[in-house]
Each structure stands twice: as C-alpha cells, then as structure tokens.
Chain A
C-alpha cells in the first residue's frame, strides 16, 4: 500500500498535493483498495465553492457509495474530466491520473490540521 511522503491526508482517506496556492485532491491507495472497483465519480463544477471537511462529491464502487470530503476551503479550479468516462482510473492510479479536483485555496492555514504521511499510516494501520 502506497502512502507518498510528499502528500497530506484526511481521516476520510483523501490526499492533498500542494501546488502553490492550489490543492490537488484525490483518494488514497488504501481507500481505492477498500472500495474495490470504482464505477462512478460525481464531482462538482469549476467555480463551485469547496468547504473544508464538507462533501464535495461522491464515489460509487461495486461495494458501496461514499462521500468525498474536501480537505480545504476555496474555489474549484479544475475537475478531472477523464473520470467521467473511466472511473476505473481511480483504482489504477489513485495518486496521479486518478486525481479528482483542484481547489484554489482561500485559507492555507487549514493545511495545518491535515495528517502527515506517518500519521496517516498509523490511522490506516489501526483500521487494518
């Protein structure tokens, strides 16, 4: 199970990559394994508002349907259109091609409350 060192994480298994004032968001390798085959991803539209710890979308897998939680607040700057035709990318490449949204952050101090890779590893270790 991969937990890249350069990312931040939420307790609901989203990852965040910081690119300047933009946060790229997706779900972790652990999350995609637990969900199983992802069949549909519902994402917001560019320009929508994102609020920290609030659902921004839905991921539907064979097993279950789960809310996707925004790690930070801001405005949706981009969504990964490729997922609308092939949601399976989330399983194949959760940290790269399977990214979901980019948020133009309004409050970078929120990043402080996210988990680092070691803390996230502890969290999923507990769940395993």
Chain B
C-alpha cells in the first residue's frame, strides 16, 4: 500500500500490489469486542414479552457484529480512501460539470438557522429561508432571463418531467391538439424518458454535419402536432446551437414551446441568456453549474424557469413577498400542483446561493469563460492523438472518438479504464450516441493549467500504449482496489433486495 501511495498522477502505476479487499463489518466481528455499554436503567424494568405481542418478538439474536469504535472508524476511513472524488483529483465527466465544491458553501448550509429549520415551522419562524428562496429565484432570473423559477425539482430529470407537464398544461389550456415533442439525436437519455412520462410521443431530429440542428431539418419533422422542441445548448457535443433563433421561430410559428435542457449552462453564465435564445421553459442544475455536490453524493436540485407564457402553470407552493413578509401561495388554479414534498432540497439552494453571492456577476461570467478556455485548451492538446469528429471551437466540453485506437483493438472503454491507473477519473464514454467510441470531456473552470497538462499527458501516454502495447490498455485497471469488473453481470443477474 505504501508503494502505491507514493505513486503520483501522470505516471502509469503498473502492476503494483493491489489493495487488499476490505473485509465486511460482519467479518471483522469478534465476540465480546463491542464497545457500547448501555447506561443504568432509570425507569422500572419491563420484560419484552410483557410489552410486545409474541408474534412480533425476535426469536433469536439479530447477530449484529461486535466491534470496537476504532475498528469501525478505521473500516470506513479505509473504504473512503479507496473512493475517487473531486476533492482528490480531476473529474472530467462530460455533461456532469464535476467542478470543485467550495467548502464555504457547506459551512453556510450548516448554520443552525438553516440546518435546524423544521419544514413544518410556522412561516413566522422561517422568513429567512423563504427570503433566500426568493433571492435565489432572482439570481437565477438574472442569469437566464426567465420570468420566474420553481426551486422544487430534486434533479435535472425531475425538472424535465415537471417542465413537460407544464408544456402539456399550456396546450390543454389553449385547447391545442399536440402529441409530439421533438428531440435531437444528440440529446441526453433523460429527455425522451421525461417526454414519454408526460404523455407525449418522441420524434427525432438529426444533427447536421456541423453537429448542430438546422432549421431546415427541424421543419421536416415539426408540424401542427408538435408540442415542443427539447434542446440542450450548448449541445452534448459541446457546440453552441447556431440556429437556435431560427429553431425557436419554427416552433413558435406552430404554437410549440422551446424547452432548454440546461445541463450545460456552465458555458453561458453572464455571456448568453436562454430567454434571449427563445426558450420558454428551462431547467438548470444547481448541483452542476452552481457547485453543489453530486454524483452519488447529492442530493441534487433542478430548478425550473419559465417565461410569462408558462408562469400560470408553475408548481405550488410559490414563495412570494407581501409587503415586508414572505408567504407561500398554494392556490393557483392553473398550476400543475405539487411536485415535491415541502419546498425541494433546501440545503442545496443555500449552497448554490452562497456560491452565487461569493462570485458575483463578474465571477460567474469568468466561470463560463474559463471553463470554455480550459475545454478548448485540452481539446487542442488531445486532438493530435485522438480522432476529433467535430473539429470546431467548443464551449465548456468536447467529444473525442476512440476510432483510431479501435483499429488496434483498443476500445474507448479500455482507454477509460487505463486512465484510472494514471490516477484520473474517466470521462463520460459512449455518449453522445452519434459519435463512435465517444469520449466526452469536460474539465470545468476549477482545474489549473498544470492539472490539464497532466491529464493530457496521461491521455497521450495511453494513446501511445494503445499503439505499442495494446494488451496493457486492455487489461487495465491494475492499480485500483479491484480490477476490471464484469459490467454486464450486475444487470444480467439481478439480486434485488429492499
């Protein structure tokens, strides 16, 4: 283990000793080792048999492992040190915006006034929390140009579904007969799922040779039955949809709505507003763009912003200011109703608002400019070594193809696994689907030039290995706690327990 620890980023870690598998707590158990002692009884003793019906009583001991406190602490510390996270190194997972999460945000969210607040507290005791929601709404309006936000959705896909339900409510209200939502072939997989759940049929529009959707191709798919176009901008190739204004014109001409999947908002802060691009409804991801933790560490938050057209349909309850007081409004006749218990994931809102305040408008603009610069820099470093199917200036992310390596029998999955040996998290692979052997890389603004250079060196070294010693890449990873996992097995041999 010591030998492994000394090894650093940027060098292949070879076939070093693998970390030994961490035993389960039940395997660490030893009789009489438990460190918990119950305090002396200060109430009259009651026998369990007298207090609980016999059919509900356990017949034998549950067999909980007995361990000392340091054994338990060390077990979880060892496990946590095997984990990879953004506090440990670069996490270039495309479309996920795995930026660093400033610790200040955590501190603010843990203030007792926020952390200790009960969701059923009378409004008089929750004025600060309600004000924060209003201020966050205001900040998100300033960033996007939308009229109002609902902060309730617990994740991006939840925002998508709520957004699509609002689209449906809008068309019902206007007695429009619509049944289809158009989605580009480069879209996130959640888009068609949300559309289907909201009761619409999906129609696909193909991206052009430049990686974007053209108004011409949209016109061939769109008709009177089109309820909305669901677009990601910049799209999943990291390219700005250049004809977005024309696309909006096509949709609005049919009284269809423009939906923005705001997963890639990190490229637009302070630079361009979705409202100016013609979007009627947009979800954004606080856990991506606004630096709150995500990726198994959530919870997330996917606020939903709308323009005046859709405002009446926003979910309830809505926070509003009445004189000097903040109130919650529940009775809105056209609302799609509640979409989350209480008011959404409040602690995430606090962290996002702390981030917005600490950066300010200029800071947010710098985020987008630097994330775009970082992506273009990394793209230029990697372009000689990997196929670049859309060779144009990118926004905050870009997509490479492993097609050159594929000729030597090395697949993108192998490249991704080998990166783990070099001490980096792998990028998103095999997405978007329109790129063969795709590698989708998003460095974010929080990586330094030195870290970007080290990542590029690792990728270059792997490209060279793929040419000279492909078997090394195909056997990766060798320096991780466990080797190559059988990715199909878990799905093929389901053991569901709950």
Q: Could you tell me the distance between the alpha carbons of A60 and B487 in the complex, rounded to whole angstroms?
A: 13
Q: Is the CB of B430 within 8 A of A63?
A: yes
Range for the number of chain B residues in contact with chain A = 10 to 19
Indicate if B488 sits at the interface (CB-CB under 8 A): yes
Cα A39 to Cα B490 in complex, Å, equals: 9
How far apart sit A60 and B436, CA to CA, in the bound complex (Å)?
A: 18
Q: How far is the CA of A31 from the CA of B189 in the complex (A)?
A: 20
CB proximity of B477 to chain A, nearest CB, Å: 17
The answer to whether A68 has its CB under 8 Å from any CB of chain B is no
Residue of A nearest to B489 (CB): A37
Is B413's CB under 8 angstroms from A39's CB? no
Q: Does A87 sit at the interface, judged by CB under 8 A?
A: yes
The answer, among A64, A86, A127, for a CB contact under 8 Å with B492, is: A86
* Distance A87 CA – B491 CA, assembled complex (angstroms): 10
A39 to B433, CA, bound (A): 18
Q: Quick one: which of B413, B433, B436, B492 has the most chain A CB within 10 A? A: B492
> Which A residues are CB-close (under 8 A) to B436?
127
Give chain A residues whose Cβ lies under 8 Å from the Cβ of B487: 36-37, 62
Nearest A residue to B407, CB-CB: A128
The residue from B413, B430, B433, B492 contacting A88, defined by CB atoms under 8 A apart: B492
With a CB–CB cut-off of 8 A, which chain B residues contact A64?
Answer: 430, 433
Q: Is the CB of A40 within 8 A of B430?
A: no
Instruction: Please determine whether A62 and B488 come into contact, CB atoms closer than 8 angstroms.
Output: yes
**Docked-complex contact B433 and A40, CB < 8 angstroms:** no
- Choose one: B189, B413, B491; the contact of A40 (CB below 8 Å): B491
Of all chain B residues, which has the CB nearest A91? Answer: B488
- Summarize B's interface: helix, strand, loop or mixed: loop
What residues of B have a CB within 8 angstroms of the CB of A86 in the complex?
Answer: 492
Instruction: Note all chain A residues with C-beta closer than 8 A to B413.
Output: 36
Are B433 and A87 in contact (CB-based, < 8 A)?
no
For residue B413, which residue of chain A has the nearest CB?
A: A36
- Total residues of chain A contacting the partner, CB 8 A: 16
Chain B contacts for A39, CB-based, 8 A:
488, 491-492
Distance between Cα atoms of A108 and B413 in the complex (Å): 41
Measured in the bound complex, the distance between the Cα atoms of B492 and A38 in whole Å is 8
> Would you give the shortest CB distance from B439 to chain A, in whole angstroms?
13
Q: How many angstroms between the C-alpha atoms of A39 and B486 in the bound complex?
A: 12
Which residues, 87 to 128 on A, are CB-close (under 8 Å) to B? Answer: 87-88, 127-128
A87–B492 touching, CB < 8 Å? yes
Chain B stretch 109-150: residues in CB contact (< 8 A) with chain A: none
A40 CA / B491 CA spacing, docked (Å): 8
- What is the CB-to-nearest-CB distance from A34 to chain B, in angstroms, rounded to a whole number? 8
Cα(A31)–Cα(B312), bound, Å = 48
1/0 contact string of A19-43 vs chain B (CB within 8 Å): 0000000000000000011111000
CB contacts under 8 Å to B, within A65-82, are: 65
**Which positions 410-437 of chain B face chain A at CB distance < 8 Å?**
413, 430, 433, 436
Chain B residues whose CB sits within 8 angstroms of the CB of A60 once the complex forms:
491
Q: CA of A87 to CA of B487 in the docked complex: distance in angstroms? A: 14
- Provide the bound-state CA to CA distance between A57 and B173, in Å: 36
In the assembly, what is the distance between CA of A63 and CA of B488, in Å? 10
Tell me, in angstroms, the Cα distance from A87 to B189 when the chains sit together.
22
A36 to B414, CA, bound (A): 13
**Contact (A88, B488) CB under 8 Å given A63-B430, A64-B430, A64-B433:** yes
Residues of A within 8 Å of B491, CB to CB, are 37, 39-40, 60, 62
Query: What's the minimum C-beta distance from B495 to chain A, rounded to whole angstroms?
Result: 14
CB distance from A108 to the nearest CB of B (A): 30
Cα separation A65 to B436 with both chains bound (whole Å): 15
Complex: A34 Cα to B488 Cα, angstroms = 14
Residue of B nearest to A127 (CB): B436
Contacts of B488 in A (CB 8 A): 36-39, 61-62, 88
Q: What's the least CB distance linking A93 to chain B, in Å? A: 16
- In chain A, what residue has the closest Cβ to B490? A39
Complex: chain A residue closest to B433, CB-CB: A64
Q: Tell me the residues in window 321-358 of chain B with beta carbons closer than 8 Å to chain A beta carbons.
A: none
Q: Which residue of A lies closest to B411 (CB)?
A: A36
Query: What CA separation (Å) do A96 and B16 show in the bound complex?
Result: 43
Q: How far is the CA of A36 from the CA of B486 in the complex (A)?
A: 11
Q: Determine the chain B residues whose CB is within 8 A of the CB of A36 once the complex forms.
A: 413, 487-488
Q: Tell me the bound Cα distance from A40 to B413 in angstroms.
A: 20
CB distance from B197 to the nearest CB of A (A): 16
8 additional contacts (CB under 8 A) given A38-B488, A63-B430: A37-B486, A37-B488, A40-B491, A60-B491, A61-B488, A62-B487, A62-B488, A127-B436
Q: Which 6 pairs from chain A and chain B are nearest by CB?
A: A37-B488, A39-B491, A63-B430, A62-B487, A39-B492, A39-B488
Q: What are 15 sample pairs from A and B whose C-beta atoms fall under 8 A apart? A: A36-B487, A36-B488, A37-B486, A37-B487, A37-B492, A38-B488, A39-B491, A40-B491, A61-B488, A62-B488, A63-B430, A64-B430, A87-B492, A88-B492, A128-B406
